[in-house]
Chain A
Amino acid sequence: KNEVEQSPQNLTAQEGEFITINCSYSVGISALHWLQQHPGGGIVSLFMLSSGKKKHGRLIATINIQEKHSSLHITASHPRDSAVYICAAPTGNQFYFGTGTSLTVIP
């Protein structure tokens, strides 16, 4: 059993669509991370959140600690959003990573 489950694994969207990526985790955490990995391999931290909602530009992340669930939303998606999105749940001495959602946004 994976401690962190992401869905969907792959997602193709038309430019302008609203996108949602889900992350469920089974471990107790104080905060959850959303990461973006571009085709070149570089990783960027998008959000770290412990409650409620955070917004940065067209990206919104929400978390429900009691339900152990987080979502990443992209509004008005753009081809440059094409990347792999990974959620990470740190607990104790360990980081658990989802397997990632590969997003392709078509012009």
Chain B
Amino acid sequence: DSGVTQTPKHLITATGQRVTLRCSPRSGDLSVYWYQQSLDQGLQFLIQYYNGEERAKGNILERFSAQQFPDLHSELNLSSLELGDSALYFCASSVGNRRGDQETQYFGPGTRLLVL
């Protein structure tokens, strides 16, 4: 158990809908990362937050948005869902540092999203 929790575990929805995925980092961790893993594209980095502020942005679509709240939990919002958004969405956390140095990341169990 990494200490990172994600809800829900599974989500089935329809095209055009909007969903919110939630992540609670390990106690004390300031950095949160979001990743998407699909069968055809493998793991992709979406976005990173550090202490409430966006730090790095990867391949996140405009239809997707995220935020990190004052209690450090994070949410990933996916809207106007398409079939191709079906994937495993992982959240990870790390201790966090102001310089942005690389750190070991602890991964949550993932949310499996199926868009029908």
Contact = CB atoms under 8 A, between A and B. Distances in A.
Interface of A: 30-31, 33, 35, 41-45, 48, 50, 86, 88, 90, 92-95, 97, 99-100
Contact of A97 (B42, B57, B104, B110): B42
Interface residues of B, number: 22
A48 B103 contact: yes
B102 A44 contact: no
A95 B103 contact: no
A50 B45 CA distance: 20
Given A42-B110, A97-B43, A50 B102 contact: yes
Given A93-B56, A97-B42, A42 B102 contact: no
Contacts, number: 46
A48 B58 CA distance: 20
Contact of B102 (A90, A94, A99): A90
Contact of A48 (B2, B57, B102, B110): B102
Interface string B74-116: 0000000000000010101000000001111111011010000
B44 interface: yes
B45 A94 contact: yes
A99 B42 contact: yes
Contacts of A44: 2, 107
B102 A93 contact: no
